[in-house]
Amino acid sequence: MAGIQKNISPTHIDILKEVGNIGAGNAATALAQLINKKITMRVPEVNIMSFDEIIDVVGGPENMVAGIYLRFMGGIDGNILFIIPYRNTLNLLDIIFGEKKRDLFCEFDPIERSALAEIGNILAGSYLSAISSLTKMLLKPSVPALAIDMAGAILSVPLTYYGHVGDTALLIDTVFEEGENLIKGHFFLIPDVDGYDNLFLALGGV
């Protein structure tokens, strides 16, 4: 687990895994209600990594992905990125709207883009709610922004803009299941400076 901050212990990782488990359960329920289909989410893998490692996790700088970005504020401030590989994005849209013939790297219409942004919003809200329930801190997300591009281009903006306020990200690998369909994505929570310290201070009694 390269890039892990020295003050993040195995106990802290266990706590973050619990955040991931609670958030995944909340997200599965909300997504099932949104699309009126049974959705489950696998127990997520949770890791802390440096910014330098993120690009490798999402398949390299030239890998086409959908990226959903938003900011959160409250007891701690930070940023959220949800990255879905492009083919998984197509599969996710097929689950929501029904299968249809799509060209590789096709343009998404406004309704499809709105649906993807709402998925990111649901995930962000689910994981932030999990943190809030454990810490009693109120965390409010901003309106999500969606981009379809190469991973390097999508990651360059938030990491460059916010890189001065933190150097590590919490990765929650996310897998949705709908019948035989599997959708894999990467959820990154990037607290500002002192964000982890404040988070674990609030989680001290957990």
Residues 24-66 have pLDDT tens digits of: 888 888 888 888 888 888 877 888 888 778 888 888 999 999 9
Residue 130 has pLDDT above 80, yes or no: yes
- pLDDT tens for 56-82 read 888 899 999 999 998 899 888 888 889
Average the pLDDT over 191-200 and give the result: 77
Q: Which domains does the chain have, with CATH numbers?
A: 10-202 (3.40.1550.10)
Q: According to the model, what pLDDT value does residue 150 have?
A: 92
- How much is the pLDDT for 174? 83
157-185 average pLDDT score: 75
Interval 10-14 mean pLDDT: 78
If we measure between CA atoms, which residue out of 72, 53, 62, 75 comes closest to residue 186? 53
**3-state DSSP of the chain:** CCCCCCCCCHHHHHHHHHHHHHHHHHHHHHHHHHHCCCCEECCCEEEEEEHHHHHHHCCCCCCEEEEEEEEEEECCCEEEEEEEEHHHHHHHHHHHHCCCCCCCCCCCCHHHHHHHHHHHHHHHHHHHHHHHHHHCCCEEECCCEEEEEEHHHHHHHHHHHHHHHCCEEEEEEEEEEECCEEEEEEEEEEECCCHHHHHHHHCCCC
So what's the pLDDT on residue 169? 81
Q: Which range in 67-71, 94-98, 173-177 is most confidently predicted, on average pLDDT? A: 67-71
Mean pLDDT of 87-113: 81
Mean of the per-residue pLDDT values of the chain: 82
Residue 119's closest CA among 170, 158, 72, 84?
Answer: 84
pLDDT tens digits, one per residue of 135-169: 888 899 999 999 999 998 888 876 666 555 556 78
Of the candidates 115, 87, 123, 3, the one whose C-alpha atom is nearest the C-alpha of residue 53 is 3
Check residue 1 and give its pLDDT: 39
pLDDT at site 7: 57
pLDDT at residue 76, rounded to an integer = 86
